[in-house]
């Protein structure tokens, strides 16, 4: 048989972040001394009180299917979280619990898009946004931003990108991969444009808690009830509570969209794991100290990595205000020769680093930013120093 895969798969690629992580892990398993800056996850353990809640749920036999969109107690904890931390009011029927923030976004596009519908995405973007849109038969429309503008989008370009086919615009602050936090003023400029265009706003707030600035967190829904009414806020436990493997995310927004997402989920995954939902209540309603402790550690590591990167000739890095990624400009290294061959781009640069220097750093190209690398500082000081030593060693060998 000649196996024919679906046409829609031709337009999408496997996730660049996940595949580099898998490669680094496979090399480590073979005994190689790999240093990975590729991981999109905190290196801390999940806080004890959250693990205890999962164990208690398991012991109590809470091991059956639940309502597809989440158990009522968890929905209440999410509603409370939005009220307490984001000054946003949602009813329980405006909330859905999914198998990660990624799943919530995927379900949103499945529920929202028809062939040819457009979704506006600011570059650099998280690798999965364009492909999730394509998997739902939509078309990503990319707006470039630059390091010189601290990755802030230009409202005029947003106005130009919007069309009668635009169904949604995605915001992601703090951003993966740049770590930039959108200042309130910049968000207001973009919001003014969006007030004249009727489409969904998606605010991916997954890195909300990981910020190294003192200003209060703000998203597009905070800029007025008119915008809040058409925003889908996506969040999850992965980053703030160091729970990437537990797979729990949630979204809140327009009732009809949430109902559509629930139908997609009904016919695909059903509910997020029952015991993880109980753990999620403990995460969202429990003590905040573990999060604060982790943020403090990331802050110091960020300073260390930024300083180390900027000390390497040909590498320059803005200070990220959030998330746990440095996104240095390595454009000056591209075109130089390594072992007699010119380096053609960030993908090749990343391959040389892992193959010859056992250093995993994600190339900028799949994030829509050629000439950059993404390095996670969710790792120890020792590994940061050692990894930057390897990067420096590589740079010293270029001609």
Query: Where does this chain bind ligand GLU (CB under 6 A)?
Result: 15, 17-18, 40, 102, 126-128, 176
- The smaller minimum CB distance to ligand PMP, of residues 121 and 343, is found at 121
Residue span binding ligand PMP (CB under 6 A) among the ranges 98-106, 223-231, 331-339, 390-398: 98-106
CB of 127 to ligand GLU, least distance (A): 6
- The smaller minimum CB distance to ligand PMP, of residues 120 and 206, is found at 206
Q: CA-to-CA distance for 336 and 234, rounded, in angstroms?
A: 41
Cα dist from 172 to 43, 156, 247, whole Å? 22, 19, 19
CB of 392 to ligand PMP, least distance (A): 27
Q: Return the one option of ligand PMP, ligand GLU, none that residue 15 interacts with (CB less than 5 to 8 A, by type).
A: ligand GLU
Give residues with Cβ within 8 angstroms of 304, minimum separation 6: 377, 381, 384, 385
Dihedral of alpha carbons 276, 278, 280, 283, sign: negative
Q: Are 367 and 123 within 8 A, CB to CB?
A: yes
Task: Tell me which residue has tokens 């968000």.
Answer: 187
Nearest of 101, 100, 46, 76 to residue 285 by alpha carbon: 76
Q: Is 102 in the site for ligand PMP (CB under 6 A)?
A: yes
Q: Which of 36, 110, 145, 176 binds ligand PMP (CB under 6 A)?
A: 176
Q: Which two tokens stand for residue 383?
A: 């590994």
DSSP of 381-395, one letter per residue? HHHHHHHHHHHHHHH
CB of 376 to ligand PMP, least distance (A): 11
Residues 237-276 within binding reach of ligand PMP (CB under 6 A): 238, 244, 249
Dihedral of alpha carbons 110, 116, 117, 119, sign: positive
Do β-strands 325-326 and 373-376 pair in parallel, antiparallel, or remain unpaired?
Answer: antiparallel
- The smaller minimum CB distance to ligand GLU, of residues 145 and 222, is found at 145
Query: Radius of gyration of the chain from Cα atoms?
Result: 21
Q: Return the one option of ligand GLU, ligand PMP, none that residue 167 interacts with (CB less than 5 to 8 A, by type).
A: none
Q: Which of 46, 66, 86, 172 binds ligand PMP (CB under 6 A)?
A: 172
CB of 175 to ligand PMP, least distance (A): 7
Residues 321-360 within binding reach of ligand PMP (CB under 6 A): none
- Comparing every residue's Cβ against ligand PMP, the nearest one is 100
* Surface-to-core class of residue 184, CB atoms within 10 Å of its CB (0-12 exposed, 13-18 middle, 19+ buried): middle
CB of 160 to ligand GLU, least distance (A): 28
Q: Return the one option of ligand GLU, ligand PMP, none that residue 346 interacts with (CB less than 5 to 8 A, by type).
A: none
Q: CA-to-CA distance for 168 and 121, rounded, in angstroms?
A: 9
Residues 204-223 within binding reach of ligand PMP (CB under 6 A): 204, 206
Q: Return the one option of ligand PMP, ligand GLU, none that residue 101 interacts with (CB less than 5 to 8 A, by type).
A: ligand PMP
Q: CA-to-CA distance for 69 and 50, rounded, in angstroms?
A: 21
Residues making contact with ligand PMP (CB under 6 A): 40, 100-102, 126, 172, 176, 204, 206, 236, 238, 244, 249
């Amino acid at each position: 048989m000649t196996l024919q895969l679906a046409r829609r798969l031709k337009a999408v690629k496997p996730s660049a972040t996940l595949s580099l992580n898998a490669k680094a892990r496979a090399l480590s398993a073979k005994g190689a001394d790999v240093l990975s800056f590729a991981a999109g996850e905190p290196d801390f353990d999940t806080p004890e009180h959250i693990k205890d809640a999962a164990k208690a749920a398991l012991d109590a036999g809470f091991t059956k299917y639940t309502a597809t969109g989440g158990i009522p107690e968890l929905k209440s904890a999410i509603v409370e979280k939005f009220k307490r931390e984001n000054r946003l009011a949602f009813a329980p029927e405006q909330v859905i619990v999914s198998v990660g923030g990624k799943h919530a976004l995927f379900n949103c596009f499945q529920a929202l898009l028809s062939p040819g519908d457009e979704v506006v995405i600011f570059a650099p973007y998280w690798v999965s946004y364009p492909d999730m849109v394509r998997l739902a038969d939509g078309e990503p429309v990319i707006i470039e931003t630059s390091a010189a503008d601290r990755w802030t989008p230009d409202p005029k370009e947003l106005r130009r990108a919007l069309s009668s086919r635009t169904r949604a615009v995605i915001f992601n602050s703090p951003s993966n991969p740049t770590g930039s936090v959108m200042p309130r003023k910049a968000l207001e400029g973009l919001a003014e444009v969006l007030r004249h265009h009727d489409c969904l706003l998606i605010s991916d707030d997954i890195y909300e808690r990981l910020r190294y600035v003192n200003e209060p967190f703000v998203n597009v829904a905070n800029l007025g009830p008119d915008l809040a009414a058409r925003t889908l806020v996506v969040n999850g436990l992965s980053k703030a509570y160091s729970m990437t493997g537990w797979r729990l995310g949630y979204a809140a927004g327009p009732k009809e969209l949430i109902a559509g997402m629930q139908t997609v989920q009904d016919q695909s995954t059903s509910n997020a794991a029952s015991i993880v939902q109980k753990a999620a209540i403990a995460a969202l309603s429990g003590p905040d100290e573990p999060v604060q402790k982790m943020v403090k550690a990331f802050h110091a590591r960020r300073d260390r990595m930024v300083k180390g990167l900027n000390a390497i000739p040909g590498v320059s890095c803005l200070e990220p205000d959030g998330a746990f990624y440095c996104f240095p400009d390595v454009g000056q290294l591209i075109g130089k020769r390594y072992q007699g061959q010119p380096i053609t781009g960030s993908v090749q640069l990343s391959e040389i680093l892992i193959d010859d220097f056992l250093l995993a750093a994600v190339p900028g190209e799949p994030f829509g930013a050629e000439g950059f690398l993404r390095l996670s500082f969710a790792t120890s000081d020792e590994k940061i120093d050692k990894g930057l030593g390897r990067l420096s060693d590589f740079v010293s060998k270029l001609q």
